[in-house]
Amino acid sequence: MKVLTANRLSDGIAVWYAAGGWAETVGHADIAYDKTAEDRLEAIGAAAAANNEVVDVNIIDVAIVDGLVEPVRLREKIRAAGPTIRTDLGKQASPQPARAA
């Protein structure tokens, strides 16, 4: 189970591909459940990088936790939330997105 992530070119903020665009939170990112879907995400990432929307494009492992997408690796968990030592900063500082239906 994988999603597409990158950093936005203009401000470097971590983003995830969701519903045809780049979301600032991971919770509702488009999930690739198989190789075909993964290839599709990779192609979208490559195109977005070539189009100068994002940089540092990566496909990462995720799981579904409480109905929301959550990265598996600690590195990606921290990217998705913010510094663990400053919970007033990063994504975790904003109200959480609504749960997936």
Note the residues at the interface with other proteins (CB under 8 A). 7, 9-14, 49, 51-52, 55-56, 72-75, 78-79, 82-86, 89-90
Could you tell me the smallest distance in angstroms from the CB atom of residue 23 to other proteins? 15
CB contact at 8 A, 24 and 95: no
Nearer to other proteins, 40 or 91 (CB): 91
Cα–Cα distance, 23 to 27 (Å, whole number)? 9
Nearer to other proteins, 21 or 83 (CB): 83
Count other Cβ atoms within 10 Å, centred on residue 33.
Answer: 9
Could you tell me the smallest distance in angstroms from the CB atom of residue 51 to other proteins? 7
Nearer to other proteins, 14 or 41 (CB): 14
Nearer to other proteins, 94 or 100 (CB): 94
Two structure tokens written together for 100: 């997936």
Type of residue numbered 31: I
Could you tell me the smallest distance in angstroms from the CB atom of residue 74 to other proteins? 7
Sole residue written with tokens 């950093």: 7
Two structure tokens written together for 29: 């990112």
